Amino acid sequence: MNETEKKDWLKAGRITAQAREYGKALIKPGALMLDVVEKIEDKIHKLGAKPAFPVQVSINEIAAHYTPQEQEQSEFRQGDLAKLDVGAHVNGAIGDTALTVNLGTENKELVRASEQALQEAIKLIRAGIEICEIGKVIGSTITSLGFNPIKNLTGHGLGLYEQHAGIQIPNYNNKDNTKLKIGDIIAVEPFATNGTGYIQDGKLSGIYKLENIKTIRDNYSREILPYIIKEYKTLPFAKRWLIKKFGPVKASFALRMLKQQDIIAEYNQLPESNRGLVSQSEHTILIENKPIVTTKE
Ligand code: CO
């Protein structure tokens, strides 16, 4: 990575952290979810970056991949456990960070479990460490507090315009002896639950990602696909973003056609398989001689 790129990674991290803290304060009982995510996405633009993926506010047993739809009227409710997951990019260099907002009086320990697991992981992280060691400390921290780590969700490497690149950082000791090396950029994201510790595919999310570029015939797709390629490249995007730009008729039709032809794929929401409550904490870390947490406050 050259100096310009490094600056971009650090800037993206800083902006993502600012957007996360800004968003955290907006999550209150009675607040419209759509309003909250749009304000956070606007904030990212104002700070000089672009969203690396749609802002997500997965509630209670939904671990990830929930973003409100266009015109959705859902509100945060008293007692909700909201995972706020924010990503921003600068020239493709990404910051990815998450925290859990607890709108109830219970579940404080569950929130602490993912926070503490992340802190313990950060203490260990350095070039040369095996990634199963990171998973081990995440898993044992969470179980020592009486909860389960989610085993089929992982942290991940980050690359330019790539939200999941290369390595996976497990949330338990999966015996993977791959070592971190200088220059790696990773997002570490412990998920803790009072359920069994697995997620499954839930409802469709309205979040999509470009998969294969192919020739298309219908006019709406021919207008919208080049826009997707130029604006988002291989980063996830929201249906509501395209509706804003192209209107509901065109955008919905094109997304349906593009999905049918496997040009884009739609993510599923990820509920915990036993409907357990889920907490999450996440930071992005640049591996250098002294690793840098780019998404710190
Ligand atoms: Co992530």
What would the pLDDT profile of 138-172 be if each residue is shown by its tens digit? 999 999 999 999 999 999 999 999 988 889 999 99
Give the pair of three-digit tokens for residue 32.
């419209």
* pTM summary value: 0.96
Question: Architecture of domain 205-268 in CATH?
Answer: Orthogonal Bundle (1.10)
- What pLDDT does 223 receive? 96
Torsion of CA 64, 278, 203, 42, to 10 degrees: -40
Q: What is the mean pLDDT of residues 183-209?
A: 98
CA–CA separation, 193 and 136 (whole Å):
16
How much of the chain exceeds pLDDT 90, in percent? 97
For the chain, give every domain's residue range.
3-201+270-293, 205-268
Q: What is the mean pLDDT of residues 241-245?
A: 98
Active site residue 109: no
Ligand 1 midpoint to CA 178 (Å): 19
Give the pair of three-digit tokens for residue 267.
């993510």
Task: Give CA separation, 3 vs 10, 125, 175, in Å.
Answer: 11, 22, 34
How much of the chain exceeds pLDDT 70, in percent? 100
Q: What is the mean pLDDT of residues 91-104?
A: 98
* Residue of 65, 89, 156, 283 with catalytic role: 156
What CATH number belongs to 3-201+270-293? 3.90.230.10
- What pLDDT does 164 receive? 86
* Residue of 8, 61, 80, 85 with catalytic role: 85
pLDDT band at 297 (very low <50, low <70, confident <90, very high): confident
Ligand 1 midpoint to CA 98 (Å): 8
- What pLDDT does 47 receive? 98
Active site residue 164: yes
Active site residue 85: yes
pLDDT band at 8 (very low <50, low <70, confident <90, very high): very high
Active site residue 189: yes
CA–CA separation, 31 and 20 (whole Å):
16
Amino acid found at 246: F
Cβ atoms of residues 9 and 89 within 8 Å = no
CA–CA separation, 139 and 149 (whole Å):
6
Cβ atoms of residues 50 and 44 within 8 Å = yes
Do 3-201+270-293 and 205-268 have matching folds? Answer: no
